[in-house]
Structure 1
Amino acid sequence: MIIRPEAAEDAETLFALTQRAFSQMPYSDGSEGRILNDLRSDGDLTLSLVAEDGGTIVGHVAFSPVRINGEDCGWFGLGPISVAPERQREGIGRKLVDAGLSILEQRGASGCALIGDPALYSKLGFRCNKRLTYGEVPPEVVQFKTLSGQDPEGQLTFAPAFDPKP
Structure 2
Amino acid sequence: MIIRLETDADHQAIYALTRDAFAPMSFSDGSEPDIVNQLREDGDLTLSLVADQDGIIGHVAFSPAKISNAEGAWYGLGPISVRADRQRQGLGSKLAHTGLDMLRKLGAAGCVLTGNPDVYRPMGFSNDHALTYSGLNPKYILFISFDGTVPKGEINFAEALEEDHP
Q: TM-score range by the shorter chain?
A: over 0.9
Structure 1 residue 27 displacement after superposition: 0.3
Classify the secondary structure of the residue corresponding to 2:80. strand
Q: Higher strand share goes to which structure? A: 1
After superposition, what is the alpha-carbon deviation per residue over 1:81-121, rounded to whole angstroms, capped at 9, x for unaligned?
A: 00001110111101101100000000000000000100110
1:135 Cα offset (Å): 1.1
Give % identity. 48
Q: TM-score, normalised by structure 2?
A: 0.95
Q: Is the contact made by 1:132 and 1:142 (CA closer than 8 Å) also made in structure 2?
A: yes
Q: Distance in 2 between matches of 1:34 and 1:145?
A: 26
Report the counterpart of residue 3 of structure 1 in structure 2.
3
Secondary structure of 2:52's match? strand
Q: CA deviation at 1:72?
A: 7.3
Unaligned runs of 5+ in 1: none
Report the counterpart of residue 94 of structure 1 in structure 2.
Answer: 93
Unaligned runs of 5+ in 2: none
Contact 1:63 1:77 in 2 (8 A): yes
Partner of 1:127, secondary structure, is: coil
Q: What code does the residue aligned with 1:24 have?
A: P
With normalisation by structure 1, the TM-score equals: 0.95
Q: Which residue of 2 aligns with 1:127?
A: 126
Residue 32 of structure 2 aligns with an amino acid whose one-letter code is E
- Corresponding residue for residue 39 of structure 2: 39
Question: 1-side partners of 2:147 and 2:44: how far apart?
Answer: 22
Shift of 1:73: 2.9
Matches within 5 A, 1:75-154: 75-154=74-153
SS of alignment partner, residue 104 of structure 1: helix
* Contact 1:60 1:96 (C-alpha < 8 Å) held by counterparts: yes
Tell me the CA shift for residue 10 of structure 1.
Answer: 0.5
Match of 1:49 in 2: 49
* Alpha-carbon separation, structure 2, partners of 1:126 and 1:113: 8
Query: In structure 2, how many angstroms separate the alpha carbons of the residues matched to 1:126 and 1:133?
Result: 15
Distance change (3 Å), C-alpha of 1:72 and 1:20 = farther
Give distance in 1, aligned partners of 2:18 and 2:26.
15
1:109-142 Cα offsets, whole Å, 9 max, x none, are 0000000100110000001121111011110000
**Cα distance in 1 for residues equivalent to 2:112 and 2:84:** 24
Aligned to 2:27: 27
In the alignment, the residues of structure 2 paired with residue 116 and residue 126 of structure 1 have an alpha-carbon distance, to the nearest angstrom, of 10
CA distance in structure 1 between the aligned counterparts of 2:12 and 2:127, rounded to whole angstroms: 34
